[in-house]
Amino acid sequence: MNIAVVLASGVGKRMRGGKNKVLLELGGKPLIFYALDNFVQCDDIDEIVIVAREEEIELMQDLVNWFDIKKIAHIIPGGDERQYSAYNGVQCICEAYDHEDIVVLFHNGANPFVESEEIERVIIAAREHGAAVVGHKTKDTVRKVSDKGFSEGVLNRNELWNMQTPQAIKLEIARTAFEQAKENEFLGTDDVSLVENIGGDVVIVEASDNNFKVTTPIDLVLAETILKNKEETKRNEESE
């Protein structure tokens, strides 16, 4: 069984207005619709858990009903940090399901263009190795910089990847990793860093080109362009 935990309780501090970015409009629909729909369309995903702000749970339920989004098993409140929201998702799954043979996929609701093929690949990798994450190979030159702003040299970009979501972890490993992080007050930069914190392995899977997180206003403009191109491609294919 594979369960997606879609995280939708962020504030969007870098987005104008401070609005929850997953509710920003993209092509006439809220941004999170596209992330949810892509998991619905993926045959390998059995159920979806949405983690939302407590005051937006009813709104999320209305959104799910309005767009008739399938596979939604639970809508639960998030925490003060992304990690705590993800942990709430883990606890929800542990309480609702038999722990055996479940892979949890943590995904940002603001990553609208995740593709079924990369979802499938990250699941396969997590089942084999325990944890996996999608990412992009770094294309730019990356320098290490001192506290005073001086360059300390160029890092080998062949060894550097920019992480995205989904990040897939076997449920038992995820439960242990999140519980240990809570006990030790460890706050990771992403979900799989908690697995590394307990000595687990994490495999990197290449993300699709359009899989990125909408964080700033310019990201939203890019997302609008990608969506228009996707819609145009679909129309052309249907007319052939």
User: pLDDT tens digits for 11-67?
Assistant: 666 566 667 899 999 999 999 999 999 999 999 999 999 999 999 999 999 999 999
Question: Would you place residue 69 in the very low, low, confident or very high pLDDT band (cuts 50, 70, 90)?
Answer: very high
What pLDDT sits at residue 11? 67
Overall average pLDDT of the 160-181 stretch? 97
- Segments of 20-137 assigned E as strands: 25-26, 29-30, 47-52, 72-77, 103-108, 131-137
Name the fold adopted by 2-143+155-238.
Spore Coat Polysaccharide Biosynthesis Protein SpsA; Chain A (3.90.550)
Whether 116 has a pLDDT exceeding 80, the answer reads: yes
How open is the CA angle 24-25-28, to the nearest 5 degrees?
Answer: 165
Q: Are 121 and 224 in contact (CB under 8 A)?
A: no
φ/ψ of residue 107, rounded to 5:
-140, 135
235 confidence band (pLDDT: 50, 70, 90): confident
Q: What is the pTM of this model?
A: 0.94
Residue 11: C-alpha distances to residues 56, 81, 209 (Å)? 12, 10, 26
Can you give the residue ranges of every domain in the chain? 2-143+155-238
Quote the CA–CA distance of 117 and 111 in Å, as a whole number: 15
pLDDT of 98: 78
Banded model confidence at residue 223, pLDDT cuts 50, 70, 90 = very high
